[in-house]
Every structure is written in structure tokens, then in C-alpha cells.
Amino acid sequence: MNRLALRLLLSLAGVAIVTATAFYAIPHNPTTVGFAYLLLVLVIASNWGLPEATLASIAATLAFNFFFLPPIGRFTIADPQNWVALFSFLATALIASRLSARANRQAEDAVERQRDIERLYTFSRAILLTDPGEPLAKQLARKLAEVFGLDAAVLFDRRTGEIHRAGPADFDGMEDQLRDAASQGTSYFDPEHKRVITAVRLGSEPIASFAIQGPFMQDSVLQGISNLIAIGLERARAQDLAHQVEAARRSEQLRTTLIDAMAHEFKTPLTSIRAATTSLLSSPDQPSASRTELLEVADEEARHLQVLIDDAVDMARLESDQIQVRREPTDPKELIDEVVASLRTQIDNRPVEIRSDGSLPQLSLDRRLLKLALKQVLDNALKYSPPRSPITVGVSNGGGAINFEITDQGPGIPEQEQGRLFERFYRSPSVKKQVPGFGLGLAIANNIVQAHHGTLTVNSRPGETTFRLTLPLLDKEAGSAAGGGTGRGVRQ
């Protein structure tokens, strides 16, 4: 309001200046003065607006009459021709100022619309470049407030039932209206607080609603925002769906791989058992030496099957649960001997050399778990190296830790695969067809070692691969838990 008053005053001042200049300073006639006034009115109209120009027109008409049309110094006009001149002037000034003001307003509208379009464009880009780690609706509310310079923006996503708020101003409440808008498609307009609530529709179906507080916005802009939000939300929903489908597909694939590996792993001893028993059943009169041999194999393989089942149960437990570490004092060398003995069948007369430092300190660890871990690593070495090549198992004391090292003479693990070795279900593409397995062994060994605060690392080049399992000697947990058997949970 103050700005308008100032402009009105300045318009009057402009008329006064032209009048004074013409009256006192320059030689003149009524025509030149008239044009000078007209020029002033046009300048005011094009820069400011209709009210200022109208006031200036009337003031200029009065001044023109008083100072320049005879009789000068009075508001009367002697010559009827001058009446015509005066009213022509007034009409011209008014029409010109009107036209000029309209052109002005249209230009301003165009600029405003261009800005709206720029903002909508920025907003649409923001929808495309979202961060997958955060709910899209939340990002949309923030971007909306940011891009349109709003005091507050609130977005209600009907699908999740969540309300996301953004913007510098507090904008509490209105939740009921937002919900109504999102379910029935109604709109609210609160001019007092400059608030608008609009439904977001996909087709004819409302899927969300948003409320904004801030500068006035054209309906078309609100509609544009609403459409962009609808597209954004729908796109996110489609992506979610695609992710779910992908996840389902992967878990299905995983299941197939597991079942395949299990089938092979369990069927191997089963094959020996069945072949032995059916042989005994079909020809009961074979020599006693071969009967004994068959029964021995069947018995050994039944035990093998039991170990496999125990291991599978252990693995499933380690897979799904926390690892319970039950520590007891253990001799590292003894542990290695036990592991090697338990893999006798798999070793199948291969040279396995055990190297150890003379005197090794005892370690406090979970014997059963660590045996399982070492077994996985040794089994891995046996599986992935040539059938008759030697394997070295070393145990040494160094760097405040006990180091177990298992070295095979396999073809080596490509560097790009080394990083993924300890991932669950990861199986190297180059061997997974030939060597059966779950892709779980090393992941589980790694989990067990980490639960003991140790590390499991691999160092591989063609012809030599070493897995190193390091367990710290001074483990705070170990001190308090030694012999006590208290468990410690480690999240997977």
C-alpha cells in the first residue's frame, strides 16, 4: 500500500515538474506542453500501472487547463476548441495508460508463467533423480518446498499412510483434510493462511494429497505439481514391485542352487550305502571278505551322512541365528589334527603336511565351531586343487596371534573373485559347474572366525592359494569367558 501511495505522489510530482518547467523555463505553446504531459503519462503507465497513470492524467488535464489554456490562471476555458483539445488529451492519456498497463501486466504474467514452468521442470528433474535410500514421498515434499520457495509443504501418501512435512514454517494439523483429499479427491483453499490442499490423482483415482503454504499459485501449476507427484509415486511403486520380483527370483535361484548342492552332497554317501545293501540283498552268498567290505563301506558312509547332517544343521543355525561362542581352553595343534582326521575320506591318501611351531600356547575358543570353520577351509582346498597335489596345514604363533594357514596348489583364485569369496552363496563361475557345493562354507568359516575376533584372509596366485585364519591370543572376551561357557552373540 505504501508503495502505491509513494508512486501516486511521485506521479503528481512528475506532473508538477513538467508544469513548472514548461511554465517558467522553456518557451512553449499548448501543443508542446500537451505532448510533454502525454509522454509523462505513458512513462508512468508503462513502468507502474493504471492507478498512477490515471491520477497523472487527471492532474495533467487540470494543470494543462489552469496554466496553459486561456484564460490562464483559471479553470475556465474561453475557446470551445480548447475544450475539445483538453478532452482529447484526457481520453488519449487514459487509453494509452490503460493499454500500456495491460501490456505490462501481460509481460509480467509471461515472466511469472515462465518461472512456474521452470520450477515445474526443476521439480520433474528432482523426481527423476531421487535417492533410493529414502522414501520418495519424503523427498518429494522437500523438493516441493525447495523448488517453489514455499513456507511449508506436506505430502500424504495414501498407499503407505505416511505424512511427510518439509519447509521452514510449522504446518501442523490438517491431517484430516489431507486424508479426505487423498481418499475423496476434495480440495481446500484457505486464503487467510495462504494454504491450499490438492488431491493427487492417477487417472481418476486419488492416490495421495499435498498441502502447501506460501505464495499464490495458478491452478495450472497446482495441477502440474499434482501430476508430477502422481508420476513420481507411481514410478517408485513400479520400481518397488520390480525389486520384489527380482528378489523373489533371486531367492528362488538360491533355493534351487542349495537344493542341488544338498542333493549331491547327501546322495553321495547314500549311493554307496544303497549300492552296498542292494548288493548284499541280491546276492547273499558272496564271499565273506566282500560282504565285510560292503558292510564296512555302508557303515562308514552312514556315519559320513550323520556328519553331513550335523554340519548342515550347524550351518543352518549359523545362517539364521546369532553365533553362540562357548569357549574352552584348546591346543591349536590338537585342533588341526582332529580336523584333518575328520576329513580322512575326502583327503583320500592325498599328501597333507601338518607344520607347527614347537610349543604353542593354548587358546580359549569354541572348539566345535572352530573345527567346523577349519574343516570348511580345508575341504575347500581339497575340492579346488588337483586330486593328487599336496596340501599344507600350518599353525604358528606370531604377532600376538595364532595363525592357521592352509595352502593348496590349485589354479588360484582370480583377483576380482577374491573379494567375494566370503559372501554367502557366492560360487566362482569358473568352477561351480564342476565342483558341487553350497557356496556357504567360507562364509560360515568367516562368521565363526569373526565371532572369535579373528580374521580370515586369502592370498592367491596361480599354483598356490593360502587361506590364513588368525585368532588373537589376547582376546578380552576370551579372558572373561574362558572355561565359563558364557555365550556371546554376534549379529550376522
Partner 1 sequence: MSAGRILVVDDEPQIRRIMRTTLTGAGYEVDDAKTGEEALEKLRDYHPDLVLLDMNMPGMGGLAACREIRAGTGVGIIMLTVRNTEKDKVEALDAGADDFINKPFSTPELLARIRAALRRVPASAQSSAARVRLGDLVIDFVGRTAFNGVRTSHLTPKELDLIRYLTSHANEAVAHRELLQAVWGPDYGDQVDYLRVFIRNLRKKIERNPDRPEYLATEPWVGYRFNGTPEPF
State yes or no: residue 102 binds partner 1 (CB under 8 A). no
Q: Is 279 in the site for partner 1 (CB under 8 A)?
A: yes
Chain-centre distance for alpha carbon 200: 23
Among 283, 306, 430, 486, binds partner 1 (CB under 8 A): 283
429 in contact with partner 1 (CB under 8 A) = no
Cα first-last separation, the chain: 68
Sheet holding 162-166, edge to edge: 162-166, 152-157, 205-213, 195-202, 188-190
- Chain centre to alpha carbon of residue 148: 24
* Residue 347 Cβ vs partner 1, minimum distance, rounded to whole Å: 10
* Per-residue mark of binding to partner 1, 298-327 (x: CB under 8 A): --xx--x-----------------------
Task: Say if residues 384 and 453 touch (Cβ distance below 8 Å).
Answer: no
- Distance of alpha carbon 443 from alpha carbon 466, whole angstroms: 16
Decide: residue 215, CB within 10 A, 0-12 exposed, 13-18 middle, 19+ buried.
exposed
Q: Does 256 bind partner 1 (CB under 8 A)?
A: no
Query: Which residues partner with 9 through β-bridges?
Result: none
Q: Which stretch binds partner 1 (CB under 8 A): 114-122, 151-159, 282-290, 357-365?
A: 282-290
What span, in angstroms and rounded, lies between the C-alpha atoms of 334 and 356? 11
Is 293 a residue that touches partner 1 (CB under 8 A)? yes
CB nearer to partner 1: give 32 or 283: 283
User: Which of 282, 416 has the CB closer to partner 1?
Assistant: 282
Q: What share of the chain is helix, strand, coil (3-state, %, to 5)?
A: 55, 15, 30
Residue 269 CB, shortest distance to partner 1, in Å, is 7
* Smallest gap from residue 277 Cβ to partner 1 (A): 8
Of residues 172-201, those binding partner 1 (CB under 8 A): none
In the complex, what is the shortest distance from the CB of residue 287 to partner 1, in angstroms, rounded to a whole number?
Answer: 8
Helices (H), 321-432: 332-342, 344-347, 367-383, 415-418
Binding footprint of partner 1, residue count (CB under 8 A): 36
Is 2 a binding residue for partner 1 by CB under 8 A? The answer is no
Q: Angle CA(373)–CA(375)–CA(381) in degrees, nearest 5?
A: 110
Does residue 348 belong to the site contacting partner 1 (CB under 8 A)? Answer: yes
For partner 1, which is the closer residue by CB, 250 or 303?
303
**Does 71 sit behind a cis peptide bond, omega within 30 degrees of 0 on the bond before it?**
yes
CB of 443 to partner 1, least distance (A): 21
Secondary structure (3-state) at 394: strand
436: contact with partner 1 by CB under 8 A: yes
* Cβ-defined contacts of 458-464 (< 8 Å, 24+): 458/413, 458/418, 458/421, 460/412, 460/413, 460/418, 461/412, 462/411, 462/412, 463/409, 463/410, 463/411, 463/412, 464/407, 464/408, 464/409, 464/412
Query: Which CB, 233 or 391, lies closer to partner 1?
Result: 391
Q: Which of 16, 263, 309, 316 binds partner 1 (CB under 8 A)?
A: 263
390 near partner 1, rule: CB under 8 A: no
- Does residue number 412 form part of the binding site for partner 1 (CB under 8 A)? no
Near partner 1 by CB under 8 A, which window of 44-52, 231-239, 381-389, 463-471? 381-389
Tell me how far apart the alpha carbons of residues 133 and 110 are, in angstroms, rounded to a whole number: 39
Residues that bind partner 1 (CB under 8 A): 260, 263-264, 267-276, 278-279, 282-283, 286-287, 290, 293-294, 297, 300-301, 304, 345, 348, 383-384, 386-387, 433-436
